[in-house]
Amino acid sequence: MKVLVPVKRVLDYNIKARPKADGSGVELSGLKMSMNPFDEIAMEAAIRLKEAGQVSEIIAISCGTQACQETLRTALALGADRAVLVETDEALQPLAVAKLLKVLVLREQPRLVICGKQAIDDDANQTGQMLAALLGWAQATFASRIELGTDHASVTREIDGGLETLSITLPAVITTDLRLNEPRYATLPNIMKAKKKPLETLTPADLGVDVTSRLTLLKVAEPPARQGGIKVNDVAELLDKLKNEAKVI
């Protein structure tokens, strides 16, 4: 079975984001960009299913600027068989990405799409669910375990009170949570091999999708700052402060 894995290029998780001086967006120039960590987990899940003989082909997809080629090359080095870039300079909202992915799903006919549960830049947590809805497919979000059958998948999900296991009908969309696996690193020989793997470039217009944003970003700003605190010397002083100054106990 074919699996499709969308991957997003985001500011590396180790870098603290800052607003641009004019508040028009987040400062990204000159900063390290990486594959969204949840998408690395999604790639890893797909690769393990392929290694187990349950998946025949992995197609990585990225929607965004030309620089996303780099993210796709990483996906190819990790184990994707081929890649598709939907290239645009528009700032894409999750709904637009879901529409682009839908057209690619109809073209590629995968039985499974594995997405990260959220991108760590916009923290939206929407794309996988939207894609599933547009396709009329089942979904299993926040997955910490996947068992793939031929017509169904059994997926354990991280929910507020604990864990839930769903049996979902295939084709379906699964989104990954942190505990699903620990992603591998790309090895140097695989990075070299990835350069020869096919990477197709399309545009939203090729796919017949209007990606115009429905949301207007008015401003980006620092959140309200916390007042700095103090260091206390010992437990007695801590208790005194909590009782008499903060009055929380």
Partner 1 sequence: MTILVVAEHDNQHLKAATRHVLAAAQAIGGEVHLLVAGQHCAAVAEAARALSGVACVLLVENDALESAGAECMADLVLSLVHDYTHLLAAASASGKNWMPRVAALLDVAQLSDIVRVDAPDTFTRPIYAGSVWATVRSEDTIKVITVRATAFEAVAETGGSARLQKVDATSDAGLSRRTHLALNDSSRPELESARVVVSGGRGLGSAERFSALLEPLADKLNAALGASRAAVDSGYVSNDYQVGQTGKIVAPDLYIAVGISGAIQHLAGMKASRVIVAINKDPDAPIFAVADYGLVGDLNQVVPELTSAL
Ligand X SMILES: Cc1cc2nc3c(=O)[nH]c(=O)nc-3n(C[C@H](O)[C@H](O)[C@H](O)COP(=O)(O)OP(=O)(O)OC[C@H]3O[C@@H](n4cnc5c(N)ncnc54)[C@H](O)[C@@H]3O)c2cc1C
| 19 or 201: CB nearest partner 1 | 19
As measured in angstroms, the least distance from the Cβ of 134 to partner 1 is 5
As measured in angstroms, the least distance from the Cβ of 99 to partner 1 is 9
From the list partner 1, ligand X, none, which binds 229 (C-beta under 5 to 8 Å, kind-based)? partner 1
Do you know the residue count of the chain? 249
As measured in angstroms, the least distance from the Cβ of 50 to ligand X is 23
| 4 or 83: CB nearest partner 1 | 4
Please give the span between the terminal C-alpha atoms of the chain, in angstroms, as a whole number.
58
As measured in angstroms, the least distance from the Cβ of 75 to partner 1 is 21
Q: Which residue lies nearest ligand X, judged by its C-beta?
A: 37
Residue 120 as a binder of ligand X (CB under 6 A): the answer is: yes
Q: Which of 9, 10, 37, 130 binds ligand X (CB under 6 A)?
A: 37
E strand spans, 31-161? 33-35, 57-64, 82-87, 112-116, 138-148, 152-159
Residues forming beta bridges with residue 152, ordered by sequence position: 169
From the list partner 1, ligand X, none, which binds 19 (C-beta under 5 to 8 Å, kind-based)? partner 1
Q: CA 178 from chain center: how many Å?
A: 11
- DSSP run (H or E) holding 207: none
| 89 or 151: CB nearest partner 1 | 151
Closest CA to 174 of 2, 3, 54, 1: 3
Q: Which residue has the tokens 């998780």?
A: 13
Question: Could you give the maximum distance between any two Cα atoms of the chain, in Å?
Answer: 68
**Interface ranges with ligand X (CB under 6 A):** 13, 37, 120
